[in-house]
Structure 1
Amino acid sequence: MELNPWAVAGLVLVALVTYYLGHHSSRSATSTHDFLVARRTVRSRRNAAAISGEYLSAASFLGVAGIVLKDGADATWYPIGFTAGYLALMLFVAAPLRRSGAYTLPDFVEMRLGSLGLRRFATAFAVFIGILYMVPQLQGAGLTLGEIVPGAPAWAGAVVVTVLVGANVMFGGMRAITLVQAFQYWLKLFAIAVPTFVLCMVFFAGGGPAGMRSLGAPAPPVFPKDTTVSVKTNVTVKVNTETYFYAYGEIDDGPARGAAHWSPAVPHKVASGTTLKFAAGTPVPVVSDIPATNDTWLHPASGKITDLLQTYSLIFALFLGTMGLPHVLVRFYTNPDGRSARRTTVHVLLLLGLFYLFPTMLGALARMYVPQLLVTGDTDAAVLMLPSALLPGLPGQLLGAIVAAGAFAAFLSSSSGLLMSVAGVVFTDLLPGRIRDFRVATVLVALCPLALTFLVRTEDLSLSIGITFALAASTFSPLLLLGIWWRKLSWPGAMAGMIAGGGSVLAALIYDTVCGYTGTVPPWWTVQPALISVPAAFLVTYVVSRLTRSGRPELVNDIMLRLHAPDPLGLVQDRVVARFGQVDDKARTGRGRHRKA
């Protein structure tokens, strides 16, 4: 790709606006109550936009289109699950969680079960989930910058995002990032909707390069024009027909310096640094685990029982994982009351449902116009490359700039929420609790995912985040659902359930990683373990709670009344008010109050 100056300008503009909004909002952050929960004054509409901006991460903006390009019909479960998770959150968790008066997820755990040890255990999982989720955001930032500025190192985008996000969170906390995230949702919606409308109009008008094969053709997609593919990592590909091309580098464990030929009988290896040249009309080779033909791509997975189990496991992870993500839950602590929290969730459902229409359509267009991504498996770049593929010249560059700006906003908003939630947990549980301690926590937490970005392999963004959802669904989801709706839950039962569920996911993740390095084909449950880990977590929690009655809090009836009593009764009160500042301190809340929405 060539340098797109408009895209560079778009990234700079997004960075400047993000910093300005964060700096402007941070001037009214004067207490730890501001930093942690924005004084619980964020109304439902603004909070819904902020939650949507935070939630629409790299997996949503780039990953959904990329996985639709790869997997077709099976990939539609991702946008469905990402959205449907908020339905469960609205029905079962949002209002009681706000009525708890907690500041963080571990704080709620201690309030409900009265165990400091369980709180510390929950802290460890909350920090781990937050950091694990933040790594793909930084990797996505590196991918975006590399597509816009050819030759830019992968770490450059990660560093820029870390510095910007760290500055906003460090100096303004929740109050600073609320306005930033609300603005970035509408920016992302504009950045994905406008290019989708324009590209669809070009497609239906018969524009774009000639020679491409429609999705209705059962054969493999073809290159619409002469195409050069640079392979950056070792890949194994397969072809559906006899394929002739030129290769320079190493293929099939041997040197290649010109004309080459692949047959469909066996898979073929391509080494890192190899350049492949295909003539227009050549069927596209695809990475070995991708559907090779369009008729396979358009239909759900084969009738194998393992494919069905993996699909149900994905549904489990996405539907229940949302309510266990610390950076999602922390935003509901900022609502004035439980009713406002539930209304916020309704608005979020509408905003997310609207957004996810667009990356799905872009993924389908990408299979026709940028099929070269199927050769390398680098399908997360589909949204970034599609505008210039359909509209060469200045129009394509302008659309590409809009998309790049939206992608950069996605990394900034999600990273802001993740950094805020994890820094808040570290601040309240591991440090004394002063404002300067919050800033120290922010720096420490920001450095961890940045370091991991250099160590962890870049995988498909949606797939890697899917593991994070599985971990959240297997640890905090059972604890929240049973803690809110079952009075007989005990702290040993909750801890045993988190160990069983979280341990299952981590074991699957480790085994899958080992298989990736050894070349072994991993079983389905290592990729999507939630179908096993979530029921195991619920079952262990229930059984152990039944056996450990002494681990139930003495005032459980009072706690349950506080969680479920209507807001007008006035039973809600913040925890540890003396530590975090008085809520009704008029002298300090007079300026910078969130506007009612």
Structure 2
Amino acid sequence: MNPVLGYVAIVAVTLATTLIGFFGLRVSRTTGDFYVASRTVKPWWNASAIGGEYLSAASFLGIAGLILLQGSDALWFPIGYTAGYLMLLLFVAAPLRRSGAYTIPDFTQARLESTTVRRITSALVIVIGWLYIVPQLQGAALTVRITTGLPSWVGAVAVAVIVGVVVAAGGMRSITFVQAFQFWLKLTAIGVPVVFILLFAWDAPPGDPTISFPTELAPSTPDAYLTISLLVALLFGTLGLPHVLVRFYTNPDGVAARSTTLIVLGLLSVFYIFPTILGLMGRVLAPELATADTADAVVLLLPGRLLPGALGDGLTALVIAGAFGAFLSTSSGLVVSLAGVISQEAFGGSVKGFRIAAVCSILVPLAVALVAEPGGLAGSVGLVFAFTASTLCPVLVLGIWWRGLTDRGAIAGMVAGGAACGLAIVAGRLIGPGVDLLSSLLAQPAAWTVPLSVLVMVGVSLGSKRRIPGSTDLFLRRLHVPERPAASR
């Protein structure tokens, strides 16, 4: 691969991101602009921005890599990622927008009238955001190393610097423009190579048939528990992702929030067709890429392998630009959500505090990404979904749909789910992969940690009914009574 292509693609997408972010800076003047873009983002624009931040390194690179290694067993990842938005549409999107909150901690405090619940929710949002940013920076490190030959740390540092500057400068309004652009860049960057490969390279000779897929990475017999637990993590984890939920606060009203979610479902369904096809092409035409070191890079390597010459070089440059856009857009959305929480908790919610918090939000995951051993991108993000599903998802769903939730129940459930899931993830990494039941329970804990969190939350709430806030009925009425669209008021 010509390293010049990598430099050109990365510089081009960086310049485009910076220029679009600068445009957003020019129209970002108020606190509302920085936190929720003054709640004026229309559904199509917001859906594109959500797609931009949601389609992360795991989606752009990791899914194709997993399909290369595991075949049809890995198809549950794109299915779960997309179906999670159906859950979001049914249970969370419109009521959350009607709450009038700026952040998830704002919502939990308003619902349960407890500063302790707010602090715990804030801590979980920060931890989840940091855990989610780390795979993005590791994906950037992988892309820069493979495409330019530079040390891995260069990619992680470059993304951290660009994201920190753009978010601190323009806030939510600026990032909305950036993420909407980057969704369409990513869709083009992964869709166009698929079309050209299907047209010109599908009849290419298959790879070396003597190469076998590593059994420790691609189990031949699917584990039913692992599949179910993965789906639980992806379906319910989407309901609690802070960088996704904060985007619904930018819609004018609940009707627009529902419309946004429907459009996102369509956009994601179209996008995930392409990494799936690339992963299957890799299994047939380039199985030699099925190693732990190169599987996540199959999207980057396949166009050059199958279409040598200027066409392959051009498509490779396009894919590199899309991959770098994925790291930038997802990291930007996460930093915006984290900066909003940290600013409100530590800096009084001012614009200056938001900017300081944005810088702080990217430095910690950068430090972790530089010292941590990278794992499979999709698998790492899947564990973040499991942690989110075990903590923030139950308190949001019960807070919206169950009058009986109390502050003590919410605290107990979030702590129990977070502790159980966190310990399982750590123990699973220490013990390593295996075929016994314990290894499966630790490798994908969502199937038991999510019910544990819900049961604890409900049980403790039932035992503390006197702590149900007096304003609960009024608050729930505001969440569930449909309002007229903003345009008709």
TM-score, L = length of structure 2? 0.96
Partner of 1:435: 351
**The structure with more helix, counted as a fraction of residues:** 2
The match for 2:421 among 505, 509, 520 is: 505
The answer (yes or no) to whether the contact 1:515–1:521 under 8 Å persists in 2 is: no
| Partner residue in 2 for 1:20 | 19
Between the aligned partners of 1:341 and 1:457, the Cα distance in structure 2 is 38
Structure 2 match to 1:36: 35
Distance 2:305 2:113 in 1: 58
Paired residues of 2:255 and 2:485 also in contact (CA < 8 A): no
Structure 1 unpaired stretches of 5+: 213-221, 224-280, 571-594
- 1:230 matched residue in structure 2: none
Aligned to 2:172: 174
Tell me which of 236, 252, 275 is aligned to 1:359. Answer: 275
1:380 correspondence with 2:378: no
Contact 1:7 1:398 in 2 (8 A): no
Task: Output one character per residue of 1:53-103: Cα deviation in whole Å (capped at 9) or x when no partner.
Answer: 110000000001000001111100000000000001011100000000000
CA distance in 2, matches of 1:96, 1:409: 31
Question: Hey, what does 1:480 align to over in structure 2?
Answer: 396
Equivalent of 1:325, from 235, 241, 247?
Answer: 241
Paired residue for 2:63? 64
* Structure 1 residue 3 displacement after superposition: 2.7
How far does the alpha carbon of each residue in 1:147-178 deviate from its partner, in whole angstroms, 9 at most, with x for none? 1112x111101111111111110011001000
The 3 A distance-change label for structure 1 pair 199 and 496 is same
What amino acid does structure 2 have at the position aligned with 1:69? L
CA contact (8 A) 1:7 1:397 kept: no
Q: Which residue of the other structure, out of 407, 431, 438, is the alignment partner of 1:515?
A: 431
Residue in 2 aligned with 1:554?
470
Instruction: Give the alignment partner of residue 284 of structure 1, picking from 207, 211, 215.
Output: 211
Query: Residue 372 of structure 1: SS of its match in structure 2?
Result: helix
In structure 2, the residue matched to 1:311 is 227
Q: For the Cα contact (< 8 Å) 1:98–1:337, is it kept in 2? A: yes
- The counterpart of 1:188, out of the listed 171, 186, 189, is 186
Higher-Rg structure is 1
Secondary structure in 1 matching 2:405: coil
Question: CA 1:189/1:481 → structure 2, altered by over 3 Å: closer, same or farther?
Answer: same
How far residue 515 of structure 1 moved from its aligned partner, in angstroms, is 2.0
Q: Indicate the SS of the match to 1:334.
A: coil
**How many residue pairs end up in the alignment?**
487
Partners of 1:29 and 1:175 within 8 A in 2: yes
Matches within 5 A, 1:134-149: 134-149=133-148
What letter is aligned with 2:152? A
8 Å contact kept, 2:67–2:276: yes
Aligned equivalents of 1:486 and 1:66: distance in 2? 40
Q: CA contact under 8 A between 2:433 and 2:443: conserved in structure 1?
A: no
Match of 1:539 in 2: 455
Residue 104 in 1 paired to residue 103 in 2? yes
2:331 to 415, 420, 427: 415
2:45 alignment partner in structure 1: 46
Give unmatched runs, 5+ long, in structure 2: none
Deviations 1:509-529 (A, max 9, x none): 1102212499x9970121210
How much has 1:393 moved relative to structure 2?
A: 2.0
The 1-side partners of 2:286 and 2:164 are apart by 35
Amino acid across the alignment from 1:566: P
Do the aligned partners of 1:196 and 1:362 also contact (CA within 8 Å) in 2? yes
3-state DSSP class of the match of 1:287? coil
Aligned 1:297-308 pairs, distance under 5 A: 301-302=221-222, 307-308=223-224
CA distance in 2, matches of 1:338, 1:569: 8
- Structure 1 residue 411: Cα displacement: 0.5
Q: CA deviation at 1:32?
A: 1.4
Q: Alignment partner of 2:484: what SS?
A: helix
Residue in structure 2 matching 1:337, options 231, 235, 253: 253
Instruction: Say which SS state the counterpart of residue 532 (structure 1) adopts.
Output: helix
1:312-364: per-residue Cα shift (whole Å, max 9, x none)? 00010001100100000000000000010011000000000000000000001
Q: Is the 8 A contact 2:201 2:307 kept in 1?
A: no
Deviation at 1:375, TM superposition (A): 3.7
Q: Which residue of structure 2 lines up, in the alignment, with residue 244 of structure 1?
A: none
Q: Indicate the residue corresponding to 1:116 in structure 2.
A: 115
Residue pair 1:287, 1:377 contacting (<8 A) in 2 also: no
Amino acid at match of 2:279: G
What is the CA RMSD across the aligned residues, in angstroms?
A: 1.9
Q: Deviations over 1:383-431 (max 9, x none)?
A: 0000111011221111100111100100010000001101111001122
TM-score, normalised with respect to structure 1: 0.79
| Distance in 2 of aligned mates of 1:149 and 1:442 | 29
Distance 2:433 2:78 in 1: 29
Q: Is the 8 A contact 1:317 1:466 kept in 2?
A: yes
CA distance in 1: counterparts of 2:71 and 2:213, whole angstroms = 14
Superposed structure 1 runs of 4+ greater than 4 Å apart: none
Residues 515 and 522, structure 1, Cα contact 8 Å, conserved in 2 = no
**Is this contact kept in 1: 2:81–2:238, CA < 8 A?**
yes
Structure 2 counterpart SS, 1:523: helix
